[in-house]
Amino acid sequence: MDTIIVLDFGGQYCHLIARRIRDLGVYSEILPFDTKMEALKKKEPKGIILSGGPSSVYDVNSPQLPDGFFKFVKEEKIPVLGICYGHHTIIKRLGGTIEPHEQKEYGKTELNIVSPNLLLEALDDKEIVWMSHGDQVRNLPEGFKAIAKTDTCPIAAYQDDSNSIYGVQFHPEVVHTPKGNQILENFISKIARSKKEWKLEDWIELSIEDINREIGTTNKVILGLSGGVDSSVAAVLIHKAIGDRLHCIFVNNGLLRKNEEKQVQETFKEKLQFKNFHYIDAENLFLSRLKDVSDPEEKRKIIGHSFIEVFEEKTIHLEEEFPDITHLAQGTIYPDRVETAATSKSSAKIKSHHNLTLPDDMKLKIIEPLKDLYKDEVRKIGLKLGLDRELIERHPFPGPGLAVRCLGSVNKEELDTLREADYILIEEIRKANIYEKLWQAFCVFIPVKTVGIMGDFRTYEHLCAIRVVESRDAMTANFSKLDWNLLEKIGTRIINEVKGFNRVVYDISNKPPSTIEYE
Ligand code: XMP
């Protein structure tokens, strides 16, 4: 299959490049910038893209292309496209010069195309592009010419006279470059002439082969299943590869939504016929440890530690029973890795991730089959692997579950009240056919009592807040301007049907400054 290789120089958008190319129908793979030439040759690339990165080409330890790179691409006539740092490193290696520019360019900039060329074909003479750089190309090596400029960057794009080496100072892979996809399309189709043969089914096949190779024919794997999209898709994929040598552990921490533990068991044990699905009911343990604890951080800590304890205990039992358990599988996806900055040797640390990692002394090798995928790709794969659309399209649910939505100390009675209200909210949202357009919709138990009246009786009950937000990535979010009639119906049903709530309020805060969750 025709392949475009992306060499990773540590830029935060590197994986987006491969993803866009796959979306355009050509298989693309990311390799570290210092991949040995032999390994690169084996991939038989139709084209190579050099990603951006946080370094400057003049930094002492700046990442370098492998020796023999240009000899190889010239002999094999493999087109190369450099982006940002990639754009600089090509020029430096071939004898041009780069210099720091006093006016750093970040954000949207107007690009002027100064010479007709294949890479920027079908674009207007002026286009908006996304810049993020401090250095810029000053002098081009012989045989190169500038093909586009901006007000502050005279060589914002270049090509060589064999029409096979191109560079762009800006980022075509981000959505802020509106014609970015056209540029990548031009590179893969018009310049690299690669065939569009990539399908998600192929990824599934390749991934199953990889899992089999890694695990072997007798070893076993443990996976912590939360019932969320990522761990569910990882489980089904691994199960397809190694069958019942996969042991899934599902912990009911007493903080799940209504019927969740039943649904997860039904899906995996009954529908998908997982023989080694281990359900652990730890509700009492979690709730007893959370009793009278009202500090949000303390609650999270207790939940995190208790989970590890329960998971570890079960793993140790399983390891005693099956000594050939060698791997721990995780549903890590690409954005999780960006957050933990484990993407590549040269990526800059962005922020530390708030989810749990299991202790190192578990001595199991980690396998993360979804680690290069984005959420929407994981969803598509899940559907292809036969998971229900309802599970695949589920809203994100935080690890500490309803504990962060039941404010202050939690107890079973209040959690049950919350579960009922939340169930009604989701039922009505689904009936209104808007579930999939929302990022999250949930109820919150506010431990404040207000007076109400039911028939002839005065009531004095707790308050239910409804939080419904729209978002692309949870970094920012807007409250959803739901239809008043729908809100009225939800509020009325909650007050009438849920014992424990006599008043419902709608949360109209955006993020920032508010967060999506309450604790
Ligand atoms: P916030 O509340 O920070 O949430 O606006 C952003 C997104 O992250 C989810 N979230 C969590 N997920 N463990 C998780 O796995 C957590 O502790 C946690 N806290 C928040 C939240 O639901 C939202 O989608």
Quick: pLDDT tens for 82-98. Answer: 999 999 999 999 999 99
From ligand 1's centre to the CA of 395, what distance in Å?
11
Q: Is the CB of 398 under 6 A from ligand 1?
A: yes
**Distance (Å) from CA 310 to ligand 1 centroid:** 22
Ligand 1 pocket, residue 516 CB under 6 Å: yes
Other CB atoms closer than 10 Å to residue 501's CB: what's the count?
25
Whether 401 lines ligand 1, by a CB cut-off of 6 Å, is no
Report which of 182, 48, 29 is spatially closest to residue 113, judged by C-alpha positions. 182
Looking at domain 200-392, its CATH architecture is: 3-Layer(aba) Sandwich (3.40)
Tell me what percent of the chain is helix, strand and coil, each rounded to the nearest 5: 35, 25, 40
CA of 467 to the centre of ligand 1 (A): 13
Residue 420's contacts (CB-CB under 8 Å, 6 or more residues apart) are 258, 497, 498, 499
Q: What is the pLDDT along the chain (519 residues), one digit of tens a residue?
A: 899 999 999 988 888 898 899 889 999 988 999 999 999 999 999 999 999 999 999 898 999 999 999 999 999 999 999 999 999 999 999 999 999 877 677 789 999 999 999 999 999 999 999 998 789 999 999 999 999 999 989 999 999 999 999 999 999 999 889 999 999 999 999 999 999 998 888 889 989 999 999 999 999 999 999 999 999 999 999 999 999 999 999 999 999 999 999 999 999 999 999 999 999 999 999 999 999 999 999 999 999 999 999 999 999 999 999 999 999 999 998 777 755 433 344 444 333 333 445 556 668 899 999 987 878 889 999 999 999 999 999 999 999 999 999 999 999 999 999 999 999 999 999 999 999 999 999 999 999 999 999 889 999 999 999 999 999 778 889 999 999 999 999 999 999 999 999 999 999 999 989 999 999
Question: Could you tell me which of 16, 389, 368 has the C-alpha nearest to residue 229?
Answer: 389
Ligand 1 atom at minimum distance from 515 CA: 5
SS3 460: strand
**CATH 3.30.300.10, the chain: domain bounds:** 411-506
- For 433, the enclosing helix (H) or strand (E) is none
Q: Would residue 317 show up in a list of annotated catalytic residues for this protein?
A: no
The phi, psi pair for 490, rounded to 5°, reads -65, -50
State the DSSP code for 122: T
Whole-model pTM over 0.85: no
Beta strands in 225-382 (DSSP E): 246-252, 277-281, 325-329, 365-367
Nearest residue by C-alpha to atom 22 in ligand 1: 398
Cα 332 to Cα 330: distance, rounded to the nearest angstrom: 5
Q: How far apart are CA 251 and CA 382, in angstroms?
A: 22
Whose tokens are 């292809």? That residue is 384
Per CATH, the number for 3-191 is 3.40.50.880
Between the CA of 475 and the centroid of ligand 1 the distance, in Å, is 10
In the chain, list all ranges with CATH 3.40.50.620: 200-392
* Cα–Cα distance for residue pair 333/370, rounded to 1 Å: 5
91 CA → ligand 1 middle, Å: 43
Let me know if 84 is a catalytic residue: yes
Of all atoms in ligand 1, which is nearest to the CA of residue 517?
2
Token reading at 406: 């039941």
Q: CB neighbours of 56 closer than 8 A, spacing ≥ 6? A: 62, 88, 98, 100, 134, 135
In short, whether 335's Cβ falls inside 6 Å of ligand 1 is: no
Angle between helices 484-497 and 412-431 (to 10 degrees): 150
Residue 107 vs residues 17, 101, 125, 168: alpha-carbon distances, Å: 18, 15, 19, 15
**Whether residue 171 lies in the annotated active site:** yes
Question: Per-residue pLDDT tens for 390-400?
Answer: 999 999 999 99
The catalytic position among 171, 239, 247, 462 is: 171
CATH class entry, domain 411-506: alpha beta
CB of 296 closer than 6 angstroms to any ligand 1 atom: no
The span from the CA of 360 to the CA of 94, in Å, is 45
517 CB less than 6 Å from ligand 1?
Answer: yes
